[in-house]
Amino acid sequence: MGKVGFIGLGIMGKPMVKNLLKAGHEVVVYDIIPAGVQEVAAAGARAVSSSKAVAEQCSLIITMVPNSPHVKAAILGPNGVLEGAKAGSLVVDMSSIDPTVSKEVGAELAKKSIRFVDAPVSGGEPKAVDGTLSIMCGGKKADFDEAFPILKCMGASVVLCGEIGAGNVTKLANQIIVALNIAAMSEALVLANKAGVDPELVFEAIKGGLAGSTVLNAKAPMALARNIKPGFRINLHIKDLANALDCGHAVGVPLPLTSQVMEIMQALKVDGMGDADHSAIIRYYEQLAHTEVKKKG
């Protein structure tokens, strides 16, 4: 199996590297935070001291970092991928960032004949652990085809959505739909609860109909159990919605509902819930209605 470089060993990166190792790949890793490096090194990855060092040793380099500035630092910054990568290398950025930054990074890499694919993911930590992420890609078909077997070690669904930046546009669309689904669920369950109807029975009654969704199935049980332990933190969803609003404004698309749910998340952040799961949106509605949704039994 080939050697893969991997930069960014946070909540998502660590299990993704472990799945590459399980598939038999040699993985060379780097992160600015030592704890993540130590964990994946214990699982068999080889640690190096910089993003540049990763790129010097690998022709396929994956980045998985929090947002646009971190991607630019890891790839284009001092001791970054661009300084170490050879012509013909392939960089796959799996971070969720502003699509315009994906295009900018791709253009800078192209000056050194380094290829680029943006490949953000959906599914959060549970699917990162299971290797069942949805991966949305932007780039040239030949580059996508080369990365595909590696990406399949980490995801159940790997789709080429268009040119560089298309992966992140798709991810922003995904994040809008997820956020609005959670808000709609919250509004409905709080209504049911305060109107005297068991919200758990409402969920059971509607989940098989047109209102049913993967989001509802994942988040309603969390809401009913009053569990806000993050699979996906509000702070990260705020980041994604900020990128969505920036992208929408740049291309001339008003996003009125996205801006509403963004402000709900901002209110929760002010309340100290930025590190809670995004299903904690229901807490905002509970405060408005002075009611508490939970299992009756």
- Examine the residue annotation and report whether 171 is marked as an active-site residue of this protein: yes
The two tokens of residue 232 are 């996906």
Which contacts qualify for 281-285: CB closer than 8 Å, 24 or more apart? 281/179, 281/182, 281/183, 281/186, 281/234, 282/182, 282/185, 282/186, 282/189, 282/190, 282/223, 283/228, 284/186, 285/186, 285/187, 285/190
Cα–Cα distances in Å, from 29 out to 9, 19, 152, 288? 8, 14, 19, 46
For tokens 């590297």, what's the residue? 17
Active-site residue, selected from the candidate residues 52, 103, 171, 239: 171
Contact predicate 128/274, CB 8 Å: no
The C-alpha R_g of the chain, in whole angstroms, comes to 20
Q: How far apart are CA 176 and CA 163, in angstroms?
A: 21
Residue with tokens 């078909």: 141
Bridge partner list, 6? 29, 62
- Alpha carbon distance 233, 198 (integer Å): 27
Our measurement of the distance from residue 250's CA atom to the centroid of its chain's CA atoms, rounded to an integer in Å, reads 22
> Which residues carry out catalysis?
171
